[in-house]
């Protein structure tokens, strides 16, 4: 009787809890689930605030909850939402100019360049751009250098020193701890695993890092040189000698225009807006303005171009906002193939690569799609290794000069704790039915045969990778191998060796896709749409329990198993051919 009372009280409590949760979800949905566009207004004589201190992704993401549609999200703070907003602001009579204040931008160098390019286009409208900061980081200054007038706090600083890359090497700590990494790689430039194999940087790795850093730095200097009318040679001298490290030196070096406090900057901004000192400046943030302009740039055309975003590490599985999985990619490409309104596809890649099998499966989806519709690749900050694998068979590849790409190489890596286990008194013993039953154990070093099997797999994938590139880029496999071996290239260099077709951003990729599809007007459809299961999410946080979890908690694990067995036996009818022992073999 007590047992029934406990079960009944638990069930009632569960229903009450779910009712409260559901009520809260409705309130949250009403507050945040509806479109916020109706709440965003732009007043006349406004300035657009370009403060980008939030993590910027190429694709802000669209999320759908099948059973709770009021929780659906269609965020508008992605890279291209920002660029579209800047583009629209150039034609908006309510927007008089753009102010960039204490930015601390959280974006990659290529993303920063694409926003900077949008600002250059904005300036052609004749509207002003001003910038102020207490501290300019190098990336912030790169963005702000496009401004008509650049202010720096009298006590502030400006970072302009060039680029560097630092790599930690872990060979010695592996020897000291006994925790090692078993590494098999193919390609002398495949440096991702180098820190586990050596105590210092190889000549090959130093070469490739130096080449791509200098290539990116050259682009940054060129852009700043054109905006500030300072020669690239002088910019190198300023960087070498830190001749812009404070406000006085920065002005002397012509990297800024005015030394002023923020209140003085505001006075200058009011003057540009023809306001009196006592008047307030009408401001609108770039995030709010992006919501306001979301639908204003859309064409009325029935034609569409799908932009499919592949952003994050490539993993085997479904994928989500932070990882590229073949599941979401397959769904997105199939939708783009099947939708007659979609005339072409742009695959926007911002990925360092990842799982080889998932990369191959995504490659296959692109192969199927381009037989029906044009597929153009637009590369962001990164489209390397697996990121290049999923790009190589596109009809055309477009990258920014600062894009990191290539890295056509393969490695396998497994942790090994044999020495660590020996040092702390742990010994692992295995019982096997066949000699290769243990393909890998954390507590045993790889045997020569195991090593050979893994190496064989790595070589097979490398051969397939280089063949995919050769076929996609109309090259011989031998020619691909010359520029492969894991070497990293910038977009500016990749175009010279045949890995990239043109230099440009998403706008050029869309134009190229429209030309390939022979259309002029089109709407953009962003994919993938990420499907979410709220119940599963809540279970993950322990907020919702299944009936099985409740019974296990009340009865205990072993009693619950017994109950399941009794129930199973009572449901069986007739003669059984049943294995009489437990099949739970460890």
What is d(CA 352, CA 523) in angstroms, rounded to the nearest whole number? 29
How far, in Å, CA of 208 to CA of 409, rounded?
A: 14
Alpha-carbon distance of 505 to 493, in angstroms, equals 16
- Residues paired with 315 in a beta bridge: 325
Contact indicator for 292, 322 with CB cutoff of 8 Å: no
Do residues 153 and 184 lie in contact, with contact meaning Cβ atoms separated by under 8 Å?
Answer: no
| Phi, then psi, of 330 in degrees rounded to 5 | -60, -45
3-state secondary structure of 157: strand
277 CB burial (10 A radius; 0-12, 13-18, 19+): exposed
Q: Is the peptide bond before 463 cis (omega within 30 degrees of 0)?
A: no
Q: Is 190 a catalytic residue?
A: yes
Strands (E) in 367-515, as ranges, are 375-384, 396-399, 404-406, 410-416, 488-490, 502-503
Tokens of 249: 């030196």
Instruction: Report DSSP letters for 177-219, one per residue.
Output: HS-EEEEEEESTT-GGGGGGT-SS--HHHHHHHHHHHHHHHHH
Sign of CA dihedral 207, 209, 210, 214: positive
- One of 113, 190, 343, 396 is an active-site residue; which one? 190
d(CA 581, CA 586): 14
Is 118:87 a contact under the CB 8 Å cutoff? yes
Phi-psi region of 409 (alpha: psi -120 to 50; beta: other; left: phi over 0): beta
Q: At what angle do helices 286-293 and 79-89 cross, to 10 degrees?
A: 80
Known catalytic membership, residue 227:
no
In sequence order, the 6+-apart residues with CB closer than 8 A to the CB of 425 are none
Structure tokens at 547: 């009936």
The DSSP bridge pattern shows strands 149-158 and 95-101 to be unpaired
Query: What is the Cα–Cα distance from 299 to 96, expressed in whole angstroms?
Result: 25
Three-state secondary-structure class, residue 416: strand
Choice among 46, 133, 385, 407 that is catalytic: 385
Cα 275 to chain centroid distance, Å, stands at 42
Give strand ranges (E) for 124-276: 128-136, 149-158, 180-186, 258-259
Interhelix angle for 79-89 vs 109-123, to 10°? 10
Contact predicate 333/308, CB 8 Å: yes
What distance in Å separates the CA atoms of residue 252 and residue 521, rounded to the nearest whole number? 49
Q: Distances from the Cα of 212 to the Cαs of 168, 404, 560, in angstroms? A: 19, 8, 60
Residues with a catalytic annotation lie at 190, 385
């Amino acid at each position: 009787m007590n047992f029934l009372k406990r079960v009944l009280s638990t069930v009632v409590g569960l229903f009450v809890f779910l009712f409260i949760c559901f009520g809260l979800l409705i309130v949250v949905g009403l507050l945040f689930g509806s479109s916020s566009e109706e709440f965003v207004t732009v007043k006349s004589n406004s300035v657009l605030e370009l403060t980008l201190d939030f993590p910027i992704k190429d694709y802000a993401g669209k999320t759908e909850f099948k059973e709770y549609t009021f929780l659906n999200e269609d965020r508008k703070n992605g890279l291209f939402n920002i660029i579209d907003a800047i583009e629209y602001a150039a034609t908006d009579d309510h927007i008089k100019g753009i102010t960039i204040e204490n930015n601390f931008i959280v974006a990659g160098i290529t993303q920063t360049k694409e926003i900077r390019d949008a600002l250059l286009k904005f300036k052609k409208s004749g509207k002003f751009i001003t910038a102020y900061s207490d501290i300019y980081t190098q990336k912030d200054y790169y963005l702000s250098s496009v401004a008509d007038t650049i202010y720096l706090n009298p006590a502030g600083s400006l970072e302009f020193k060039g680029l560097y890359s630092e790599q930690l090497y872990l060979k010695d700590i592996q020897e000291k701890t006994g925790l090692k990494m078993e590494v098999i790689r193919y390609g002398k430039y495949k440096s991702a695993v180098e820190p586990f194999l050596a105590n210092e940087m190889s000549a090959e790795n130093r070469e490739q890092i130096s080449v791509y850093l200098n290539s990116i730095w050259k682009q940054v200097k060129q852009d700043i040189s054109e905006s500030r009318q300072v020669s690239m040679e002088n910019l190198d001298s300023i960087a070498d000698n830190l001749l812009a490290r404070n406000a006085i030196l920065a002005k002397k070096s012509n990297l800024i225009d005015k030394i002023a406090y923020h209140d003085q900057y505001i006075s200058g901004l009011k003057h540009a807006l023809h306001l009196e000192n006592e008047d307030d400046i009408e401001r609108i943030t770039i995030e709010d303005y992006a919501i306001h302009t979301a639908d204003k740039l859309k064409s009325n055309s029935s034609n569409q171009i799908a932009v499919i975003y592949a952003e994050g590490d490539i993993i085997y599985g479904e994928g989500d906002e932070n990882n590229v999985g073949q599941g979401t990619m397959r769904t997105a490409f199939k939708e783009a193939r099947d939708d007659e309104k979609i005339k072409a596809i742009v695959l926007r890649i911002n990925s360092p690569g990842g799982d080889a099998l998932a990369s191959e499966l995504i490659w296959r989806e692109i192969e199927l799609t381009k037989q029906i519709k044009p597929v153009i690749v637009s590369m962001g900050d990164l489209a390397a290794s697996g990121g290049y694998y999923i790009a190589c068979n596109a009809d055309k590849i477009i990258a920014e000069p600062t894009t990191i790409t290539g890295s056509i190489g393969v490695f396998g890596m497994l942790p090994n704790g044999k020495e660590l286990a020996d040092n702390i008194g742990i010994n692992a013993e295995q019982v096997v039915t066949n000699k290769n039953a243990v393909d890998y154990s954390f507590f045993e070093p790889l045997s020569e045969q195991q090593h050979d099997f893994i190496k064989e797999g790595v070589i097979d994938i490398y051969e397939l990778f280089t063949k995919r590139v050769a076929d996609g880029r109309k090259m011989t496999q031998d020619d691909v191998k010359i520029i492969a071996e894991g070497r990293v290239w910038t977009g500016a260099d990749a175009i010279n060796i045949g890995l990239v077709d043109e230099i440009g951003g998403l706008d050029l990729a869309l134009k190229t896709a429209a030309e390939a599809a022979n259309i002029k007007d089109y709407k953009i459809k962003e994919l993938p749409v990420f499907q979410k299961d709220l119940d599963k999410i809540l279970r993950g946080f322990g907020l919702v329990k299944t009936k099985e979890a409740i019974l296990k908690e009340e009865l205990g694990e072993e009693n619950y198993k017994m109950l399941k067995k009794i129930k199973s036996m009572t449901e069986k009818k007739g003669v059984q051919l049943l294995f009489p022992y437990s099949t739970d073999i460890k």
